[in-house]
Amino acid sequence: MNEAWLEQIAWTPDGLVPAIVQDHASGKVLMFAWMNREALAETARSGTAVFWSRSRGRLWRKGEQSGHVQMVHEIRLDCDADCVLLRVEQAGGIACHTGRERCFYRLLDGESWRTVEPVLKDPADIYGDSGA
Amino acid sequence: MNEAWLEQIAWTPDGLVPAIVQDHASGKVLMFAWMNREALAETARSGTAVFWSRSRGRLWRKGEQSGHVQMVHEIRLDCDADCVLLRVEQAGGIACHTGRERCFYRLLDGESWRTVEPVLKDPADIYGDSGA
């Protein structure tokens, strides 16, 4: 992976770049995650979104468990080359692990965060419960 | 600033949270920046976007030099509480310091980043040149 376009990215000291994921049709911002070099290269090559899971310390092929893969329509880079933007088609219409359409489901209402988007599918039905 | 809603945010060890800025009308993602506690509190209080400039090490009231302020229509928080999303009205129609509508003006085209958005105003006219 010595592609010049990957070299142009201002990776963090940890080798990551933040990624914003937006629905290509509705324009809704679905989620925010991180990518390492391998994740971004695989995303570009495969056309489906791959991130770096900081909590699990491994590549995270979005939808690998849930089936909620993201087909990538375009990848953009910002002026400082330190953030990428993906426009995707969200399989199943659910991007969030809580079973909601998207992760940004809390709205600041006065001085509290109010949940404004419904759970579309029980996470237990998405990910299965233990051994079931 | 002991507001409970600020306590709910999963601040980085440096006391920051990433912020995505989206145009409230077009849905376009305009820019990506960082906020500290003070920046987010002031954004919520004032209704105009304030960030933390990591390069300058100080609060950055968006538009303080350019006049390109961002009037905040809503603030959202994601499932992990580690990213905020602002929907804003962009004064002057220019969010990027390069004089473009937005920072995400480079599109991955094969194996290179291609600039796909025009400069709307010369940065020298936005920020002034030395002493002029």
Q: What is the DSSP string of A12-72?
A: -TTSEEEEEEEETTT--EEEEEEEEHHHHHHHHHHSB-EEEETTTTEEEETTTTTS--EEE
Which helix (H) or strand (E) is B38 found in, with range? helix B37-46
Strand A16-23 to A84-90 pairing: parallel
Global confidence as pTM: 0.95
Predicted ipTM of the assembly: 0.95
All residues of chain B having their beta carbon less than 8 Å from the beta carbon of residue A108 are: 5, 44, 74-77
Residues, chain A: 132
Rounded distance between C-alpha atoms, residue B49 and residue B31, angstroms: 12
Cross-chain CB nearest to A29 (options B22, B79, B100): B22
A-to-B residue pairs, Cβ atoms closer than 8 angstroms:
99
A-interface mutation test, from B32, B88, B112, most A Cβ less than 10 A away: B32
Distance in Å, alpha carbon of A41 to nearest chain B alpha carbon: 10
Per-residue pLDDT of chain B (132 residues; tens, 9 = 90+): 558 999 999 999 999 999 999 999 999 999 999 999 999 999 999 999 999 999 999 999 999 999 999 999 999 999 999 999 999 999 999 999 999 999 999 999 999 999 999 999 999 999 986 443
